[in-house]
């Protein structure tokens, strides 16, 4: 049965807390599918949905073939596609089409789509043609796209005008957006354009309460990998009297992780609290935390009374 925290709303759009699921790697740096499944199951048990192949998944360090194999493995081992929002946006148009079509055929509820991010300074016209071409080539009535705006990394912004044009021509396909701009005014502009037609997800739990109070659908956050129960609890209880206190607590833990390179820090925390050093591996060009950084991170978390949700199986 689908969790009440991560589910469709009446319009058919996703709501809840999602994690860009970190990807474990084996000693040869190939994806570790079995560890990934365990982590996904743990996230689901804490009412967090699965935005596999997001930024913090090291998605753009993996090939389309690797991502397809992982998706197949997740589904084959019983992970519910209803609770997945895989990232399928690539620099190459044909890669985006192939991965998006495969994910849609597997029955995922929606896909999270980056704009093509290699070329900078591209026009809205070029971005529109890219998204439209993906939609037309996939040609599947089940396809639902959540755009992914992360200009601090992609250096490509998704404008309100572009969204309005896409929604006008593909109203049943372009149904929402994740905003990782870190700028509330940008998130607010997306909330206005999607007010009655889709879902907006801030890209950090730091904006979760503010977002929910202004019509957001939840959040898609890196630190949901390591603090899932607390974040999903705020989503479920945001109208309670203690909501502001919950948000302050989330911000404290988020702030600790933000002082370190995010992906290696997430993996270091998982490695420490699961007693599984394999989790420390990242794919080049990323590097793991130094021993000093790792000790500092764990000490800060312990001093803050951080609780890694258990059990982790």
pLDDT digit string (tens) for 211-256? 999 999 999 999 999 999 999 999 999 999 999 999 999 999 999 9
For helices 124-138 and 93-105, the axis angle rounded to 10 degrees is: 40
Q: Residue 181: count other Cβ atoms within 10 Å of its Cβ.
A: 18
Closest to 126 measured CA to CA, from 87, 153, 165, 169: 165
Percent of the chain whose pLDDT exceeds 90? 92
Q: What is the pLDDT of residues 149-203, one digit of tens each?
A: 999 999 999 999 999 999 999 999 999 999 999 999 999 999 999 988 789 999 9
Measure the CA–CA gap between 40 and 51, rounded to whole angstroms: 10
Answer whether residue 270 shows pLDDT above 70.
yes
Answer whether residue 31 shows pLDDT above 50.
yes
3 vs 157: which has the higher pLDDT: 157
Continuous segment of H or E residues that includes residue 113: strand 111-113
Q: Where along the chain do its domains lie?
A: 7-229
Answer whether residue 12 shows pLDDT above 90.
no
Continuous segment of H or E residues that includes residue 178: strand 174-179
Cβ proximity of 194 and 176 under 8 Å: yes
Give the pLDDT band of residue 9 (cuts 50, 70, 90): very low
Q: What is the pLDDT of residues 79-119, one digit of tens each?
A: 999 999 999 999 999 999 999 999 999 999 999 999 999 99
Measure the CA–CA gap between 159 and 118, rounded to whole angstroms: 18
Give the pLDDT band of residue 22 (cuts 50, 70, 90): very high
Cβ proximity of 112 and 85 under 8 Å: yes
Fold of 7-229: TIM Barrel (3.20.20)
């Amino acid at each position: 049965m689908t969790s009440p925290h991560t589910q469709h709303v009446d319009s058919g759009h996703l709501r809840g807390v999602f994690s860009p699921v970190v990807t474990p790697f084996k000693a040869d740096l190939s994806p570790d599918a079995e560890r990934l499944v365990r982590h996904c199951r743990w996230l689901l048990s804490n009412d967090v949905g699965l935005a596999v192949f997001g930024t913090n998944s090291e998605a753009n360090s993996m090939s389309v073939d690797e991502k397809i194999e992982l998706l197949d493995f997740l589904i084959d081992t019983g992970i519910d596609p209803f609770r997945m929002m895989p990232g399928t946006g690539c620099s190459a148009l044909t890669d985006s089409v192939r991965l998006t079509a495969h994910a849609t055929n597997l029955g995922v509820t929606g896909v999270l789509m980056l704009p093509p991010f290699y070329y900078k300074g591209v026009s809205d016209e070029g971005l529109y043609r890219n998204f439209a071409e993906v939609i037309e080539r996939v040609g599947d009535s089940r396809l639902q796209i959540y755009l992914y705006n992360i200009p601090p990394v992609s250096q490509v912004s998704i404008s309100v005008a572009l969204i309005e044009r896409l929604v006008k021509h593909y109203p049943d396909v372009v149904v929402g957006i994740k905003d990782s701009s870190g700028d509330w005014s940008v998130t607010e502009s997306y909330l206005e354009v999607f007010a009655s037609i889709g879902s907006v997800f801030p890209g950090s739990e730091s904006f979760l309460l503010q977002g929910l109070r202004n019509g957001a659908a939840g959040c898609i956050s890196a630190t949901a990998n390591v603090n899932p129960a607390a974040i999903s609890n705020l989503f479920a209880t945001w109208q309670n009297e203690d909501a502001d206190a919950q948000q302050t607590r989330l911000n404290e833990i988020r702030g600790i992780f933000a002082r370190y390179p995010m992906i290696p820090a997430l993996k270091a925390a998982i490695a420490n609290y699961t007693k599984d050093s394999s989790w420390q591996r990242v794919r080049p060009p990323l590097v793991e935390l130094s021993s000093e950084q790792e000790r500092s991170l764990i000490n800060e978390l312990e001093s803050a009374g951080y609780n890694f949700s258990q059990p982790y199986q």
